[in-house]
Homo-oligomer: A and B are copies of this chain.
Amino acid sequence: MIFTETLLDFFLATRKHTESLCAPLQTEDYVVQPIEDVSPPKWHLGHTTWFFEEFILKPYAPSYRVFHQDFSFVFNSYYEAVGRRVVRAERGNLSRPSVQLVYEYREYVTKAIKALFENRQGAPELQSLLEIGIHHEKQHQELLLTDIKYILGNNPLLPSYSDRTDEHQAEDQAPGWIRMDEGIYAIGHDADSFCYDNERQRHKVYLNSFEVSSRLVTNGEYLEFMQNDGYKRFEHWHAEGWDWVQRQQVNAPLYWYLIEGEWHHYTLHGLELVSPDAPLAHLSYYEAFAYAQWKGCRLPTEFEWEAAQEHFPWGKRWEWTESAYLPYPGYTRAEGALGEYNGKFMVNQKVLRGGSVATPTHHTRPTYRNFFHPHLRWQYTGLRLAR
C-alpha cells in the first residue's frame, strides 16, 4: 500500500491529467455522442467525479454535502445498485449541466477528497477506495482520448485535436517469432500493488508449445490482406464477422479513407497518409481474426500473451486475443456496488492485452485484462500473430 501522502499526490495528478486531456477541446466537443459506445467528454469528467462522491465522500465524509442532488442520476454509469441513471444512449442528448458547471463539480469534489485525506491519515479501507477511484479515472482517461478521437474523426470537417506526435510510430523491433516451450505457466497478479479483481487469483495454466510474433502487425502488412480481397472472401471470417462486414459494408479499418488511390486515415493531427511501417490500429476482433486466418496463423490466447509478454516491447496497441473474457479460477465479486465493476461483463466479450498510445502512464501491466465486444474498433486495437 502506498502511503497516504503519495496517494493523495497521485490522486491530484490524475485529476489534473484528465483535465489536461480536455484542454484542446472547444465547449461543443464536450457534449456530443455520435455512437452509443462513445460518451461525451463532459460525461467522463462528471462520472469520474461522481465515483469519488458516491463511494467515498457520501459514506465517509460526515459533513459532506452533495454538489447537486441530480448529478447522481446524470453521472451514474451502470451501477444498478446505486439507483436510476440516464440511459447510456441518451448521454449525448443532454446539454446541461454545462461544461462550466461540471468543472466546478470536479473542483468541489477534488477539494473535498483532499480535505478528507489530509485530515484522516488513512484507514486502509479508505485508501483502497481512493486507489480504485484513481484507477477508475485512469481507465476513463483512455476512453476519453479515444472518444474524443471518434467525435472529431466522425465530423465531416475532420478537425485536428493537437500536435501529439506518438500516435502512429513504427516499432523498433525486428520481425521474428518468439518460441515458447510447452509447460505450466503462472497467470494472474500476485504482487502487493494495485490490480483489478479480474486479474487476481494467480493460477497455473498448461500451455502447449507455441510461437508468437515479436512485432505487431503493421499497416503495410494489413494492406496486403486488403489487396488480396480480404474483405470479400468469406472463408477468412467467422460467420458473425462476415455478417458484420456485409451489413456494415466494411472494407478497411476504422478511420481509413481511400482518396485518389491512396489510403489515408484520420489521426489526432487530422487526415494523414497511412504509414506502412506503423502498427495497425482500429480493428475489430473479427478483422484481426480474419487477417490471422489469411496468414495461416491465429491470435494468441491471453495466457500465451501473458507468458510471452516479457519478450515484447508492448504498449503501443491494445492487442486482441483469442480468449473470451471469463473469470479466473477462484474469482469472486466484491460486495456491493463495486462488485459490479468487472464480473457482470464476463460474457460475449474478448480479452485485449497490452495497452495503447491512449493508455496513461503506469496504467498497464502484464496481467491487465481489457475487454470489448468483438465488433468494436474505436480503441487503438491491433494484433500480434501466433502459431
Interface residues of A (CB under 8 A from B): 26-34, 42, 70, 73-74, 78, 80-81, 86, 90, 92-99, 151-152, 154-157, 159, 184, 203-206, 208, 210, 234-235, 237-242, 285-286, 289, 298, 322-324, 326-327, 329-330, 339-340, 344-348, 350, 374
Contact = CB atoms under 8 A, between A and B. Distances in A.
A150 to B, nearest CB: 10
A206 B235 contact: no
B344 A96 contact: no
Given A234-B80, A324-B326, A96 B26 contact: yes
Q: What 8 pairs across the A-B complex have the smallest Cβ distances? A: A324-B324, A34-B93, A206-B206, A28-B95, A80-B234, A29-B95, A27-B27, A208-B329
B154 A96 contact: no
B34 A239 contact: no
Contacts of A86: 156
A23 to B, nearest CB: 16
Interface of A, secondary structure class, is: mixed
Nearest to A240: B347
A77 B33 CA distance: 21
B34 A32 contact: no
Contacts of A90: 34
A204 B208 CA distance: 8
A96 B241 contact: no
A322 B327 contact: yes
A29 B33 CA distance: 14
